[in-house]
Amino acid sequence: MSDEVDERVTPPLVDEAVKKAAVCWVSSGGGPAYALWCLPLDGTLLVVTGPGEQAAPGLADSETAEVTLRGDHGGRIVTWSARVTRLRPGTEEWDTAAPLVAAKRLNASGAAAELVERWVAQGCALNRLAPVGAVVTGADLPDGSLSEQPRPAPVVRAVRKPFRLHRVRRR
């Protein structure tokens, strides 16, 4: 039996998890995993990254990534290797996928067509994550939470002591 995996056939668990995915955790280049909103399309996940959108450093330039999806119970159910393909503006793939992703983008200002134009102008990346290679499920998943300390971000503010209107006297 060969160790090679047929890219055209994905396990049923991956197919079902991809169909139901709204958020995925993606790690590229051995870096930390980032939670990204995504849109399932034809057995793959589409994610938008870049200025004004979600951050996933290195994803747009990677060829592969690790994707983790959760189940209905909220816990991790599958981790799989993905082939990353960046869809380029002006291609048939872009013209088909970008409006679909833009229409599902929550809290975006303007119409879907305006959002797609903004992505092109700002240099955002529309990436397709297609399952390939190894799949980790069930007992093979890590037992621990894999939680980490929050990463530094420009939106984090230092916590100050609360303001007091009066002084408390001790007796």
DSSP 31: -
Confidence (pTM): 0.77
Bigger pLDDT: 74 vs 69: 69
Read off the pLDDT of each residue in 23-44 and give the average, rounded to a whole number.
Answer: 90
Of the listed ranges 39-43, 114-118, 139-143, the least confidently predicted one is: 139-143
Average pLDDT, whole number, for the chain? 83
Backbone torsions φ then ψ of 16, nearest 5 degrees: -70, -40
pLDDT over 70 at 149, yes or no = yes
- Strands (E) located in the chain: 23-27, 34-37, 39-41, 44-49, 64-70, 76-87, 125-137
What span, in angstroms and rounded, lies between the C-alpha atoms of 87 and 90? Answer: 9
pLDDT score for 97: 94
pLDDT score for 161: 74
* High-pLDDT (> 70) share of the chain, %: 90
- CA-to-CA dists, residue 42 to 2, 4, 48, 167, 169, angstroms: 27, 23, 17, 64, 68
- Summarised one tens digit per residue, pLDDT across range 70-90 is 877 777 778 889 999 999 999
Report how far Cα 2 is from the mean position of its chain's Cα atoms: 31
Cβ neighbors of 115 (< 8 A, separation 6 or more) are: 102, 105, 108
pLDDT over 90 at 14, yes or no = no
pLDDT over 80 at 142, yes or no = no
Read off the pLDDT of each residue in 109-116 and give the average, rounded to a whole number.
Answer: 89
DSSP 160: -
pLDDT score for 156: 66
pLDDT score for 63: 94
pLDDT over 50 at 31, yes or no = yes
pLDDT score for 3: 46
